[in-house]
Amino acid sequence: MWCVEIRDLSLVFGSQTLFEHLNWQLSSGKWSTLLGTSGVGKSTLLRTIAGLENEAITGGKIIYQAETKIAWMAQQDNLLPWLSLLDNVQLKAHLSGTKTSETCDKAYQMLVAVKMDKHLNKPCYQLSGGQRQRVALARVLMQEANLILLDEPFSALDAVTRHQLQDLTQELLDNKTVLLVTHDPFEAIRLSDQIFILKDQPISISAPIFPPKATQQAEVLGLQQRLLAELASGEI
Q: Does domain 1-69+147-236 have CATH number 3.30.420.40?
A: no
Which strands, in side-by-side order, build the sheet including 16-27?
16-27, 2-13, 57-64
For the chain, which residues make up each domain, given as ranges? Answer: 1-69+147-236, 80-144
| 35 φ/ψ angles, rounded to the nearest 5 degrees | -110, 130
What pLDDT was estimated at residue 22? 96
Give the model's pLDDT for residue 62. 96
First to last CA, the chain: 25
- Confirm if 227 and 194 have CB atoms less than 8 A apart: no
pLDDT, residue 168, reads 95
- Give the pLDDT score at 214: 67
Q: What is the pLDDT of residue 235?
A: 59
pLDDT block averages, 10 residues each, the chain of length 236: 95 90 96 93 94 93 94 94 95 92 96 95 93 96 96 92 94 95 93 94 93 79 88 71
Distance CA 72, CA 169 (A): 13
CA 37 to chain centre: 16
* Single-letter amino acid code for the residue at 61: K
Contacts of residue 184, defined as CB under 8 A and 6 or more positions apart, other chains included, come to 155
* pTM of the predicted protein model: 0.92
pLDDT recorded at residue 200: 87
Q: What is the pLDDT of residue 207?
A: 95
Whether 28 and 2 have beta carbons less than 8 Å apart is answered as yes
